[in-house]
Every structure is written in structure tokens, then in C-alpha cells.
């Protein structure tokens, strides 16, 4: 890998996620700048560039990737095009940072990893919870033995059903499997599953089932299953998007206590053990991807290592395939 003194980024797909979550992080990370953005609608790309002080904009991804002023490429399009753009960036010899989920299938993930490896460029995936202080604290609690030796965990994520069925013509891309790879499970559950991979190691076996119980759209609205980590910890999960109320809870049960946290809400981290109950309220930074972006920039500059790569990105996609096996 070529070591860069300063990393000049180009974004393919400067949509909503780039407004606050990620885009400004490339400008605020040390040793980094955002020099070009692309969107198929050129006027929207130009608007983003003007509002965020980005010098160049494109309406063609290949043109941005080929720009000699762009050192590394952030792919922020829906998952259906992640493989295509990653292969283009690899062919251009440029490091890639790709949004989650990494691709539509684990086979596509493998092709992306192989292409970047052959080109000698790193591939990073936007599982940014691995670097967020709130989740780093959870990992520290587990590793310190605050709840003893970990035994099992449960994941529960539910959301209310839509007010009425959504026609095929009105479906947002997250509910169109040919673009997203699945439904809300694919969009949301991967964050939790990847973070648990980070804490407990890769999942060695997983099985599950999926169903469309509400009938509000074409893809599944319920996924449930069980999985076992390399560390021996057992896990179960239920993700349902046609319930009356919202729930966001992960509980890690150990030999001497338990740890609870939320994947998406701002609920505090809770530890209960023989010493009583403790809570931590840890706010997210203004741009939630910035800590991970800083790790990526540091690695590209030869000053550190990033905790989220194409390897763990591929594992997260594989787990979702196993849990959605019946869909």
C-alpha cells in the first residue's frame, strides 16, 4: 500500500448520509480533505459541493474515480452498486471506503475483497460503531470482566408498522431487495451484528428464518435466529418492523452480571453486577463516522490501523444471509 502524506477524498453518491453523518468527517479529520463529490443528478452534486466547500463535482462515478487529484474513494451509494464502484476504484489503484451493508451478497463481498487485494489497496467498511466512544465503552466493560465471563446475549429491535401498505412504485430503496439486498433488517441489523463480531469474534454458525407478517411491502418485516461466536458466546435475535411500539435493546449476560445497551437510541449503557447498578450516558460526536474516518486516514498515512475492513464487512453480510435463509 502506498503511504499518503495527506488523503484527498472523493465521494461517489453524496446523498443524505453525507450531509452530517459522514461527509464533514472527511473535511475535519486530521490529514484529510474532501476534494470531489459525485451524484448522478449533476445539479444535486453541484449543490452539495457549493454548500460544503468542495472544489469539484461530477455526475459520472468513473470520472471522479479517475480524477488524479482524488487519492481515495468513499462509496455512499445504495448497496446494489457497491461492488461495481469498488472494482472500478481498485482498478484505478485507489483505497476504498464503502457504506454498509458492504454488498448485496457475501459472494459480492468476496469479489470486492479479492479485487482490492489484487490491486494492493485497502478496503474499509462503514461499520463506524466500532470506533464510537459509546460502543468502545461497551467493549471495554466486556473485556474488563465487569460482568464476568460472557455466556450469552440477546438482541431485540422492533419498530411500528407503516400506517398503510406501500405500493411497489412508492417503495424507498431500503425496501427494494434488488437495491438494498433485503428490507430494514439488512439496513439496520448489520450494525449490531458487526459490533458483536468486534466484541466476541466472528460468528461460526448461524441459523434463522424470515417472514413478511404485516404485508406492508414486498420484503421481510420479521427476522429471528440464533448464532454462536468463535469465543463460545451464544446469541439470539429478533428484528420486527410491524409491531405496535419501538424497542432497541442488546443484553450481554455474563457469569457475574449483565450489560445492556441500545444500537440506535440514546439510552444509557447499564451494568448490573454484585456491586449494584451503574450507568453511562456517552454522547455521539456531531459526525458519527468521523472517528472511523480518522482511523482510515491514519492507516493510509502509515500512522495507525482501522478496526473495520472488508473482512469483517463480508462476515456481517454472511450472517444476515444465514438469518434470512427462509426468505
Determine, yes or no, domain membership for 326. Answer: no
Strands (DSSP E) contained in 15-81 are 32-38, 56-58, 72-75
How big is the chain by its Cα radius of gyration, in Å? 20
CA distance 9 to 248: 34
Examine the domain organization and report whether 78 and 202 are in the same domain. no
Examine the domain organization and report whether 53 and 171 are in the same domain. no
Q: What is the pLDDT of residue 327?
A: 57
Determine, yes or no, domain membership for 324. Answer: no
What's 221's DSSP letter?
Answer: S
Per-residue pLDDT tens digits of the chain, which is 327 residues long: 889 999 999 999 999 999 999 999 999 999 999 999 999 999 999 999 999 999 999 999 999 999 999 999 999 999 999 999 999 999 999 999 999 999 999 999 999 999 999 999 999 999 999 999 999 999 999 999 999 999 999 999 999 998 888 888 889 999 999 999 999 999 999 999 999 999 999 999 999 999 999 999 989 999 999 999 999 999 999 999 999 999 999 999 999 999 999 999 999 999 999 999 999 999 999 999 999 999 999 999 999 999 999 999 999 999 999 999 865
Determine, yes or no, domain membership for 321. Answer: no
Determine, yes or no, domain membership for 259. Answer: yes
Q: What is the pLDDT of residue 66?
A: 98
List the grid coordinates of 47. Answer: 449543490
CA distance 250 to 254: 13
Examine the domain organization and report whether 233 and 292 are in the same domain. no
Examine the domain organization and report whether 267 and 297 are in the same domain. no
Could you give the 3-state DSSP secondary structure of residue 61?
Answer: helix
- Cα atoms found within 13 Å of the Cα of residue 131, Cβ hemisphere only: 21
Examine the domain organization and report whether 123 and 173 are in the same domain. no
- CATH number reported for the structural domain that contains residue 244 in this entry: 3.30.360.10
Examine the domain organization and report whether 37 and 120 are in the same domain. yes
Examine the domain organization and report whether 11 and 117 are in the same domain. yes
List the grid coordinates of 57. Answer: 463535482
Determine, yes or no, domain membership for 315. Answer: no
Determine, yes or no, domain membership for 325. Answer: no
Examine the domain organization and report whether 143 and 266 are in the same domain. yes
CA-wise closest residue to 75 among 133, 147, 15: 15
Examine the domain organization and report whether 178 and 276 are in the same domain. yes
Bridge partners, residue 235, by sequence:
153, 227
Q: What is the pLDDT of residue 326?
A: 62
Determine, yes or no, domain membership for 300. Answer: yes
- CATH number reported for the structural domain that contains residue 121 in this entry: 3.40.50.720
Examine the domain organization and report whether 77 and 178 are in the same domain. no
What's 309's DSSP letter?
Answer: B
Determine, yes or no, domain membership for 322. Answer: no
Provide the domain count of the chain: 2
How far apart, in Å, are the Cα atoms of 4 and each of 7, 272, 300? 6, 46, 6
- Count other Cβ atoms within 10 Å, centred on residue 52: 17
CA distance 263 to 248: 7
Examine the domain organization and report whether 207 and 299 are in the same domain. no
Provide the phi-psi class of 307: left if phi over 0, else alpha when psi is between -120 and 50, else beta: alpha
Domain boundaries, position 64: 7-128+288-305
Q: What is the pLDDT of residue 164?
A: 86
Could you give the 3-state DSSP secondary structure of residue 79?
Answer: helix
Q: What is the pLDDT of residue 137?
A: 98
Which residues does 163 contact at the CB level (< 8 Å), separation at least 6?
none
Examine the domain organization and report whether 121 and 160 are in the same domain. no
Opening angle at CA 1, ends 305 and 121, nearest 5: 90
Amino acid at each position: 500500500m502506498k503511504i499518503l502524506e495527506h488523503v484527498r477524498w472523493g465521494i461517489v453518491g453524496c446523498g443524505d448520509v453525507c450531509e452530517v453523518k459522514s461527509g464533514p468527517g472527511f473535511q475535519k479529520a486530521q490529514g484529510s480533505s474532501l476534494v470531489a463529490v459525485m451524484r448522478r443528478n449533476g445539479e444535486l452534486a453541484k449543490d452539495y459541493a457549493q454548500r460544503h466547500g468542495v472544489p469539484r463535482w461530477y455526475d459520472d462515478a468513473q470520472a471522479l474515480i479517475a480524477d488524479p487529484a482524488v487519492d481515495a474513494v468513499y462509496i455512499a451509494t445504495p448497496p446494489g452498486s457497491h461492488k461495481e464502484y469498488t472494482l472500478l476504484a481498485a482498478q484505478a489503484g485507489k483505497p476504498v471506503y464503502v457504506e454498509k451493508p458492504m454488498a448485496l451478497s457475501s459472494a459480492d463481498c468476496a469479489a470486492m475483497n479479492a479485487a482490492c487485494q489484487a490491486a494492493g489497496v485497502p478496503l474499509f467498511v462503514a461499520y463506524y460503531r466500532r470506533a464510537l466512544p459509546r460502543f468502545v465503552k461497551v467493549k471495554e466493560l466486556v473485556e474488563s470482566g465487569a460482568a464476568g465471563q460472557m455466556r450469552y446475549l440477546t438482541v431485540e429491535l422492533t419498530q411500528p408498522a407503516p400506517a398503510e401498505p406501500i405500493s411497489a412504485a412508492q417503495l424507498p430503496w431500503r425496501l427494494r431487495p434488488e437495491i438494498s439486498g433485503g428490507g430494514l433488517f439488512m439496513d439496520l441489523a448489520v450494525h449490531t451484528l458487526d459490533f458483536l463480531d468486534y466484541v466476541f469474534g466472528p460468528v461460526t454458525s448461524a441459523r434463522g428464518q424470515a417472514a413478511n407478517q404485516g404485508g406492508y411491502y414486498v420484503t421481510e418485516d420479521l427476522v429471528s435466529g440464533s448464532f454462536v461466536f468463535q469465543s463460545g458466546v451464544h446469541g439470539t435475535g429478533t428484528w420486527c418492523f410491524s409491531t405496535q411500539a419501538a424497542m432497541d435493546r442488546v443484553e450481554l449476560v455474563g457469569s457475574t452480571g449483565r450489560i445492556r445497551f441500545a444500537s440506535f437510541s440514546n439510552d444509557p449503557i447499564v451494568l448490573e453486577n454484585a456491586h449494584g447498578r451503574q450507568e453511562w450516558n456517552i454522547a455521539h460526536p456531531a459526525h458519527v463516522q468521523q472517528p472511523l474516518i480518522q482511523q482510515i486516514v491514519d492507516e493510509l498515512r502509515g500512522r495507525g490501523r482501522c478496526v473495520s475492513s472488508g473482512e469483517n464487512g463480508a462476515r456481517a453480510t454472511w450472517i444476515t444471509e444465514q438469518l434470512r435463509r427462509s426468505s
